């Protein structure tokens, strides 16, 4: 029995480590895409696109780990919530990786079109997106319900900055500012950062479910 329990604990720990690793990869992809844009380094943008397969493969690994635990040990209560939520969280992380790729592709187009002063306008949004994703990952790693609730509150700042930025850039385009296509790409990058914030909230909601069995989605 002790042997079986040790295997069970080891597998749960390995699952958690895999999710943290995937979260680190997704956050790094977002940061590399933004760095490529801010430093005019198009090669970093290509790196983000090329490395997305690693995140996809990590999602498959987590799915396999989670299903193995469910089939072998039939966990209940908090352990069951941990396994199910870990699988769900990796879905959100995979989508964060997808948005990092979207940012990289838009950044690549902006850089090819030439220097754009308005790129710096996304800096406050980047800062908030980094904070909210990092907070969600820490809350998962530490199983910290209080921090998870703080992450959910952080999304208000992300939404506020995104809305103001989109309005400002749209007004520039309407006023005849050039180059229009590059400005539109900055708007799309802003939208991806806003969606990354939403996905961090999804992760935080899963953490609350793990710790308290409370489903706070759509509340």
pLDDT at 219: 58
Flag the least confident range among 75-79, 87-91, 195-199.
75-79
Using one digit for the tens of pLDDT, what is the confidence trace for 202-215? 999 999 999 997 76
In a domain, 111, yes or no: yes
For residue 25, the domain's CATH number is: 1.20.58.220
In a domain, 218, yes or no: no
pLDDT at 214: 72
pLDDT at 37: 97
Using one digit for the tens of pLDDT, what is the confidence trace for 174-203? 998 789 999 999 999 999 999 999 999 999
In a domain, 217, yes or no: no
In a domain, 219, yes or no: no
Q: Which residue has the higher pLDDT, 176 or 5?
A: 176
Share of the chain above pLDDT 70, in %: 96
Q: Quick one: average pLDDT of 157-171? A: 96
- Predicted confidence band at 173 (pLDDT cuts at 50, 70, 90)? very high
- Predicted confidence band at 53 (pLDDT cuts at 50, 70, 90)? very high
Is the model's pLDDT at 6 over the cut of 90?
A: no
Is the model's pLDDT at 140 over the cut of 90?
A: yes
Six token digits for residue 144: 């910290």
Q: Quick one: average pLDDT of 121-131? A: 97
Evaluate whether 119 touches 38 at the Cβ level (below 8 Å): yes
In a domain, 115, yes or no: yes
Domain count, the chain: 1
Domain encompassing residue 199: 2-212
Among residues 108, 75, 63, the alpha carbon closest in space to that of 4 is found at: 75
pLDDT at 3: 52
Write 5-13 long-range contacts (CB < 8 A, 24+).
Answer: 8/69, 8/73, 8/75, 11/65, 11/68, 11/69, 11/72, 11/73, 12/69, 12/75, 12/79, 12/82, 12/83
pLDDT at 5: 77
In a domain, 59, yes or no: yes
Q: Which residues contact 171 (CB under 8 A, 6 or more apart)?
A: none
Q: What is the mean pLDDT of the chain?
A: 94
Task: Quote the pTM value.
Answer: 0.94
């Amino acid at each position: 029995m002790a042997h079986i329990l040790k295997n069970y604990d080891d597998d749960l720990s390995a699952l958690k480590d895999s999710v943290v690793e995937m979260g680190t990869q997704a956050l790094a992809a977002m940061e590399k895409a933004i760095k490529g844009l801010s430093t005019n380094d198009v090669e970093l943008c290509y790196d983000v696109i090329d490395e997305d397969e690693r995140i996809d493969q990590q999602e498959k690994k987590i799915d396999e780990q989670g299903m193995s635990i469910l089939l072998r040990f039939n966990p209940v209560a908090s352990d069951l919530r941990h396994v199910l939520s870990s699988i769900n969280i990796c879905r959100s992380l995979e989508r964060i990786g997808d948005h990092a790729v979207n940012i990289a592709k838009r950044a690549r187009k902006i850089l090819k079109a030439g220097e754009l002063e308005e790129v710096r306008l996304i800096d406050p949004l980047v800062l908030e997106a980094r904070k909210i994703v990092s907070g969600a990952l820490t809350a998962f790693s530490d199983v910290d319900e209080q921090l998870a609730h703080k992450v959910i509150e952080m999304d208000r700042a992300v939404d506020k900055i995104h809305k103001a930025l989109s309005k400002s850039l749209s007004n520039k385009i309407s006023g005849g500012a050039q180059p229009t296509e590059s400005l539109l790409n900055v708007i799309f990058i802003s939208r991806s950062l806003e969606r990354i914030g939403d996905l961090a909230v999804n992760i935080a909601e899963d953490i609350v479910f793990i710790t308290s069995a409370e489903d706070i989605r759509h509340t």
